[in-house]
Structure 1
Amino acid sequence: MLNPVPLFGIGNKARSVVVSAQERLNVYVELNDDPEKQVITMYPRPGLVTAVDFGAFPSRGVWQKGDFLYVVNRNKLYRVANDGATTELGTLDTASGRVDMSDNGIQLIIVDGANGYILTFATSAFAKITDPDFPGGDTVTFLNQRFIVNDPDSGRFYWSALLDGSAWDALDYATAEASPDDLVRVFAEAGQLYLAGTNTTEIWGDSGAADQAFVKIGGGAVEWGLAARWSLVKYMDSMAFLRKNRLGQVQVCVMAGSVAQPISNPQIEVEFTSYGDVSNATALAYMVNGHAFYQINFPTVGKTWMYDAQSKAWSVLESFGGMHRASMSAQLLGSIYAADYENGKLYKIEPAVLTDDSQPIVREFTSRHQSIGDFTRVSELWLEMQPGVGNQTGLGVDPQVMMKVSRDGGNTYGNELWTSIGKVGEYKTRAVWRRLGQARDWIFRFRVTDPVVSVFVAAWARVTK
């Protein structure tokens, strides 16, 4: 008799594979309420389709307003329509490095460190901020009718005149004073101003006063700093970011009021900390099929991780065998756009697309430990996947799934064993492997390389002692 085998889990590989060898690549987990199926199903993550190509150099910033995206590539600001048509709007003084962008409904502001620029939406007029009191800024946000920038290499932040990003006053500033660390990012969320430093974070709000627009909320500071400036993004109804403490520990957190709640687990945090310099990490957030994803890239090691709020599971993402291509994103008219970290391509993130810019996506997962404390023999293993997907893309007429078996707790794996998922229309097909031998502790690894819908549903095994 075949019995269900709980291969699927939401854990991650631990420091010791004896504890956990679980890994997921280019799939995400969905937790099911249907009692007829196992609790966990794994679905393929969305693919990428090129919508606009600005050339060899990566885009520096992306912002959505109304029916358009606003993209900075090299030293140019472009307006991008949903059909991919682009219009050049202005020229910046700089041609490299990340920029930050925000809008007040009337104007778009862009900061690149030393300089600031204003686009007026109604007239498409573009101009550099020439007010001598403008301090420059690495980051910018908007709250209570004012733009706010951090003063580079200091703990100060400045605010603009009401609804006018071209007008600044040298006396309109304040300082995050709980700790002498420099500000890394200013970010407005839920009516509050978050001042993220290298070691601490403060929360400020509207003061109601004409001469001092913002005031600190509460008496202290959160004793965590922002580990990577561009890891902080809006996420669901809050924001998510990579934070660090004075001892060097890093975590991914979601802000809940004044409390940063970790969403990373110990296995993930050990991995992140091992990367060394994480200050260049970048993140994006988007929602697909009811799943809110936070995706973070680590250029130092060339690795991408994705968190799913529905299952609370972390997966690794890859494109072309390396880091996932997306570095930042924006929503436009129901579509998700993402900029490539290495070149000028602007992609659409498409759930129904099974490739990245026409290149194959490898889907893989490594199972939980299967052990009952004594030697067992597996004479047959069934893997249920979505069948009959053979030529959905015109490729992979008879798509295959590979399995490798570890019989020593995840330290080594045997040969690749390939079998069919099912040709188009073969809806009763299950992937089956027989005569797998005996072991005390089993781990199974599965992989699909064909561009087909790879949905991992359940597993059964015939086991004897």
Structure 2
Amino acid sequence: MKISLAAPSYTAYSVVAAAQQTMNLIPAAVEVPNEGTRLVLYGRPGLQYFATVTPANIRCLWSGGGRLFVIHGGNEDEIHSNGTLTTWGTVAQGTQAPDPAFIASNGTQLLIVSGGKVYCDNGSGAQPANFAITGTGNTFASNSTLIDSGQYQTPPVAGPFLPAWQGKNILIAGIPYVMSGVPNDHTIVLGSVPPNLTGATWETAQGAQVDGVWGAYIDGYFVVNRVAAGQQTGRQFNISALNDGTRWSTLDFAIKEGAPDNINSVLADHEQLWLFGTDTIEIWADVGASPFPFQRIDGAMIRDGSVATWAPCSVGLSVCYLAGGHAGETIAYRAQGLQPQRISTHAQESEWNQAGYRVWDATSYGYSEQGHIFWVVNFWQQQRTWVYDLTEGLWHERAAWNPAGSNYLRYQPWFHAFVPEWGQNGMHIVGDPATGILYQQSLNFTDDNGNVVQYTRAFPHLINENQWHYDHQFELLMEQGIQTPAQFVPTIGLDWSDDHAHTWKENISRLKSAAPSGNYTQRLIFRRLGKSRDRIYRIGITARTKVALIDAYLEATQGFA
């Protein structure tokens, strides 16, 4: 008889109810109705070495216009298509691992939010983005100077100009100049000749550096939610000047107003600005108003907050995030439009909400490959990776494998960027925050940079009114013989649990080799499997080649006692 093979990971609060695991295997539908199998399991993408960065702490990847940037440690580097690096600038680091950073672009500039500070890369590396200092004054073409208006008051007022401003930029009546000298507190010598102006407005980015937790880009504006400190509320977010990440005004801000909780992070998606609070979520839009262009969409509030600052993510046509707050514990949601839908199951929620499980340090990214859209959620302290397939609506797990200890390790890809201009069909580049290694990821790669991948599938309970059944043989239908004669032949192991998934018989030690190269029809059968009232089979596959699991069959005799 055919038994259920392909399904998502689902270990219930009680393993007596369900103890299914799908590790490094992707459930995929067969999209024609006349095939005997409607859902199969394919191996996850493999990894191939691309580059290494030092220091190793990869914190962010971003791509655009055929270029790839990485924040690692305190460095901003560009990674070229041949794997070489160019260091562009330095940024602050945070104290909470894995310490992700954020990058966005307006087409000509990069906004970088790192270590609680905001930077702008204008093409020459990350530079602190500072708030503007403004005033009025008179300009004189005869000596190329700007005199602050305070000098003309009675009595004269001390000017704001500082010697440290020399060599910096200043806008006067909207025209940029370089300050070639600052002889005193009320005089600036300009690097080019200005017109004679009276009462002209001037602006220079010489205030305090903009602080920020996370960032976004929408409609020509960079957006950051501010760090809660001193008199500054964590409900505040600021925007840059239009199309200019070097210009920030202390007056260009708004407050999350629908509820008094602080903002964890911001996200721009489908021309809307999401403010993820600790207890609630508000959605704002650019309405073109003056002096501040963004307003909250009437009624666009979700009565669940975000439990992980770095987890909200645009995935395909959806926004995915880990929700929680005053209403209860962590649940994964997928929002299409303004309607969030629960996508986690009781299995994930049981794990995420157990005592001591840290969810606030989760990071996530989305990507698509071969028609599937994935949301990858990495939990740093737990060293666990859960992946939701938006195409199939199913979860699976991912991990690396340690052959020496026969145990799973942390999944290496923690950050992701896709560069469509590289290679034949674009490249998925992923980064390991612990080793500093960047990999190319692809379903065309079937190992982890030369290391084997271990696949595990734990089946549903096989139980019939708690009566004995006698299992004679188990057969796994999988694609075999596709490796070259020189390649490693996959090893398939089988074990089982007869005590409702509390213990396992043989630690997948009943092993068989897959068919040799070119043998596509060899059967894979395990015999003399004993008896049980409740049997859970588990298969493990060690391979460096393509893995495709199609079906499973069991020959058994039903007992009556």
Give TM-score scaled by structure 2 length: 0.78
Relative to 1, partners in 2 of residues 1:341 and 1:94: Cα closer, same or farther, differing over 3 Å? closer
Specify the alignment match of 1:13 in structure 2: 11
Specify the alignment match of 1:341 in structure 2: 433
Q: Which amino acid aligns with 1:75?
A: G
8 Å contact from structure 2 (residues 9, 22) kept in 1: no
Q: What secondary structure, in the 3-state scheme, does the structure 1 residue paired with 2:547 have?
A: coil
Identity within the alignment, %:
27
Specify the alignment match of 1:112 in structure 2: 114
Shift of 1:464: 1.9
Q: What secondary structure, in the 3-state scheme, does the structure 1 residue paired with 2:364 have?
A: strand
Q: What secondary structure, in the 3-state scheme, does the structure 2 residue paired with 1:241 have?
A: strand
8 Å contact from structure 1 (residues 70, 78) kept in 2: yes
8 Å contact from structure 1 (residues 146, 160) kept in 2: yes
Specify the alignment match of 1:27 in structure 2: 25
Q: 5 Å matches for 1:67-78?
A: 67-78=66-77
Q: Is 1:351 aligned to 2:349, yes or no?
A: no
What stretches of structure 1 of length at least 5 have no aligned partner? none
Shift of 1:431: 0.9
Match of 1:445 among 515, 538, 557: 538
Q: Is 1:147 aligned to 2:222, yes or no?
A: yes
Q: Which amino acid aligns with 1:216?
A: R
Shift of 1:355: 2.0
Shift of 1:341: 2.3
Q: Distance in 1 between matches of 2:210 and 2:89?
A: 21
Q: Distance in 1 between matches of 2:328 and 2:435?
A: 32
Q: Distance in 2 between matches of 1:315 and 1:242?
A: 17
Q: Is 1:379 aligned to 2:381, yes or no?
A: no
Q: Distance in 1 between matches of 2:94 and 2:42?
A: 39
Specify the alignment match of 1:332 in structure 2: 419
Q: What secondary structure, in the 3-state scheme, does the structure 2 residue paired with 1:57 have?
A: coil
8 Å contact from structure 1 (residues 206, 215) kept in 2: yes
Q: What secondary structure, in the 3-state scheme, does the structure 1 residue paired with 2:400 have?
A: coil
8 Å contact from structure 1 (residues 182, 198) kept in 2: yes
Shift of 1:94: 4.5
Shift of 1:33: 3.6
Specify the alignment match of 1:208 in structure 2: 288
Relative to 1, partners in 2 of residues 1:378 and 1:84: Cα closer, same or farther, differing over 3 Å? same
Q: Is 1:135 aligned to 2:210, yes or no?
A: yes
Of 89-98 and 30-39, the range deviating more from structure 2: 89-98
Specify the alignment match of 1:459 in structure 2: 552
Listed one character per residue, the Cα deviations across residues 309-358 of structure 1 (whole Å, up to 9, x for unaligned) are 23222112111422211111111021111111212111111212222232
Match of 1:167 among 241, 244, 247: 247
8 Å contact from structure 1 (residues 402, 418) kept in 2: yes
Q: 5 Å matches for 1:256-405?
A: 256-274=336-354, 275-320=356-401, 321-333=408-420, 334-373=426-465, 374-391=467-484, 394-397=486-489, 399-405=490-496
Relative to 1, partners in 2 of residues 1:33 and 1:115: Cα closer, same or farther, differing over 3 Å? closer
Q: Distance in 1 between matches of 2:23 and 2:557?
A: 31
Shift of 1:151: 1.2
Shift of 1:10: 3.0
Q: What secondary structure, in the 3-state scheme, does the structure 2 residue paired with 1:449 have?
A: strand
Q: Distance in 2 between matches of 1:410 and 1:150?
A: 46
Specify the alignment match of 2:147 in structure 1: none
8 Å contact from structure 1 (residues 77, 89) kept in 2: yes
Match of 1:252 among 332, 350, 373: 332
8 Å contact from structure 2 (residues 286, 294) kept in 1: yes
Q: Which amino acid aligns with 1:208?
A: G
Match of 2:528 among 422, 427, 435: 435
Which of the two has higher C-alpha Rg? 2
Q: Distance in 1 between matches of 2:288 and 2:257?
A: 21
Relative to 1, partners in 2 of residues 1:284 and 1:90: Cα closer, same or farther, differing over 3 Å? same
Q: Distance in 2 between matches of 1:395 and 1:227?
A: 45
Q: Distance in 1 between matches of 2:513 and 2:340?
A: 46
Q: Distance in 2 between matches of 1:235 and 1:68?
A: 21
Specify the alignment match of 2:502 in structure 1: 411
Q: Distance in 1 between matches of 2:554 and 2:118?
A: 63
Q: How many residues align?
A: 459
Q: Distance in 1 between matches of 2:470 and 2:125?
A: 74
Q: What secondary structure, in the 3-state scheme, does the structure 2 residue paired with 1:355 have?
A: coil
Shift of 1:281: 0.8
Q: Distance in 2 between matches of 1:391 and 1:431?
A: 19
Shift of 1:383: 0.8
8 Å contact from structure 2 (residues 129, 248) kept in 1: no
Specify the alignment match of 1:239 in structure 2: 319
Q: Which amino acid aligns with 1:20?
A: A
Specify the alignment match of 1:64 in structure 2: 63
Specify the alignment match of 1:4 in structure 2: 2
What stretches of structure 2 of length at least 5 have no aligned partner? 131-204, 229-233, 402-407, 421-425
Specify the alignment match of 2:194 in structure 1: none
Specify the alignment match of 2:82 in structure 1: 83
Q: What secondary structure, in the 3-state scheme, does the structure 1 residue paired with 2:36 have?
A: coil
Q: Distance in 1 between matches of 2:442 and 2:5?
A: 28
Q: What secondary structure, in the 3-state scheme, does the structure 1 residue paired with 2:49 have?
A: strand
Q: Which amino acid aligns with 2:82?
A: D
Shift of 1:461: 2.1
Q: Distance in 1 between matches of 2:470 and 2:358?
A: 46
Q: Is 1:39 aligned to 2:131, yes or no?
A: no
